[in-house]
Amino acid sequence: MSELLPAWDDAAAVDRARALFTATFDGEPDGVWAAPGRVNLIGEHTDYNGGLCLPIALPHRTVVALRARTDGLVRLVSAQEDGLRELRLADVGPAGTPDAVEGWPAYVVGVAWALEREGLLDGGGFDVAVDSCVPYGAGLSSSAALECAVAVALDDVAAAGLAADDAGRARLAAACVRAENEVAGAPTGGMDQAAALRCAPGQALLLDCRDGATEQVPFDLAAVGLELLVIDTRAEHQLADGQYAARRTSCEDAARRLGVGTLREVTDLDAALAALDDAEQRRRVRHVVTEIARVEEFVATLRSGELRGDLLRAAAALVDASHTSLRDDYEVSAPELDVAVEAARAAGAHGARMTGGGFGGSAIALVDAGTAPAVAEAVRAAFAERGFTEPAFLLAVPSAPASRLA
Ligand code: GLA
């Protein structure tokens, strides 16, 4: 049977980060904070188009033990990487400049850099130890989890109080997006940071990217005998490369040609498609516009009653349709994702789709409670048959947002 990757409980998370901190730096951290990875239920590649998406926070988190400094120095250590890194906040420059920060520290110092530029905090520097049980590079937002754990830590040690309410959390999320776009150089849209900071246990987060408004949508699969299986295909997934940026540029260009601010404002899809002359761009627009409509329908389905019978079939059909649209119209799937989705459905999943940016990464499958190990085994066998790298699995239960643990 294929194993499901466990999440750390609070005590284990605190112990790990604190032990790494004290083994690396003298003395104790000021505290320990954590932020979750996410899966998006539906609404993919809609965030940077002003659209709707519906993520949940994972129980799998990134944890940081952090202590403030007053000299502008940042010292970083990670359980996932060798060596101690050290840099001055004043020397941090945007991606693409000679002062750009290489590798994972960009996600950490980028947050301090952005908070300073937004006038939310002043950059005094800090020592930080990082550990994580969010699979890295799996399309489960390990980078946003790191940014958001650092954001709540810096907010807390500065006693700024932004994490105390949703409006403050939205501002922290905006700073984390800035860190990712400008310092790490990945042109992502903002769903992941909103998920890590603004989700709630037992709920899916309906995020309207037009204005950042959110609604909590109850999502209790256990109550209706269901589970959400996450399949990490282990296929290479890299957002900073050109494909994600190319999709975003194509959408922005289409919006310009159509005379709208974002594709969210397209109200008549047929008229929009008729007005565009490039076939590839028409497919991109069709994905975005239909995907936003699928989020609306999915949320309406969740709200109209328990996810059983016809309602379950309707929700699952939307999940399946999302995958088809991402594969054929938006062209961001990968052979491993398609095989994962097909094998999961053949093994009894009600619906399955890729989740996150695509080009590798993870898929989700809506399965009957207790069947996740068998569905995982079927996917593992399908991967073995094709000579793909062995996939990994975990269960997605809607969990808590970024917070202080100790
Ligand atoms: C990545 C990005 C998000 C979003 C998704 C696709 O996860 O970080 O902003 O665009 O891809 O929905």
Q: With the CA atoms of 132, 137, 142 and 144 taken in that order, what torsion angle do they form, in degrees rounded to the nearest 10?
A: 160
pLDDT at 236: 79
Instruction: Please state, as a whole number, how many other Cβ atoms lie within 10 Å of the Cβ of residue 124.
Output: 18
> Which pLDDT tens digit goes with each residue over 172-208?
999 999 999 999 999 999 999 999 999 999 999 999 9
Residues of the chain with pLDDT > 90, as a percent, come to 96
CA of 18 to the centre of ligand 1 (A): 31
192 lines ligand 1 (CB under 6 A): yes
pLDDT at residue 123 greater than cutoff 80:
no
Task: Report, as an integer, the average pLDDT of 329-350.
Answer: 97
Tokens at 256, concatenated: 């310009």
> Which pLDDT tens digit goes with each residue over 261-303?
999 999 999 999 999 999 999 999 999 999 999 999 999 999 9
- The pLDDT confidence band at residue 145, using thresholds 50, 70 and 90, is very high
CA of 134 to the centre of ligand 1 (A): 16
Task: Report, as an integer, the average pLDDT of 308-332.
Answer: 98
For atom 8 of ligand 1, the residue with the nearest CA is 188
190 lines ligand 1 (CB under 6 A): yes
89 lines ligand 1 (CB under 6 A): no
pLDDT at residue 135 greater than cutoff 70:
yes
pLDDT at residue 132 greater than cutoff 70:
yes
Residues with catalytic function: 192
- The pLDDT confidence band at residue 238, using thresholds 50, 70 and 90, is low
pLDDT at 239: 57
Task: Judge whether 406 and 264 are in contact, CB under 8 Å.
Answer: no
- The pLDDT confidence band at residue 1, using thresholds 50, 70 and 90, is low
pLDDT at 237: 67
Nearest to 67 by CA among 146, 20, 129: 129
Task: Judge whether 132 and 108 are in contact, CB under 8 Å.
Answer: no
Atom in ligand 1 nearest the alpha carbon of residue 45: 12
Task: Report, as an integer, the average pLDDT of 244-251.
Answer: 96
CA of 197 to the centre of ligand 1 (A): 15
pLDDT at residue 240 greater than cutoff 70:
no
Task: Judge whether 116 and 161 are in contact, CB under 8 Å.
Answer: no
- The pLDDT confidence band at residue 122, using thresholds 50, 70 and 90, is confident
Task: Judge whether 227 and 368 are in contact, CB under 8 Å.
Answer: yes
- The pLDDT confidence band at residue 105, using thresholds 50, 70 and 90, is very high
Kindly list the strands in the beta sheet with 31-40, ordered across the sheet, starting from the edge strand earlier in the chain: 85-88, 73-78, 126-132, 55-68, 31-40, 403-404
Mean pLDDT of the chain: 96
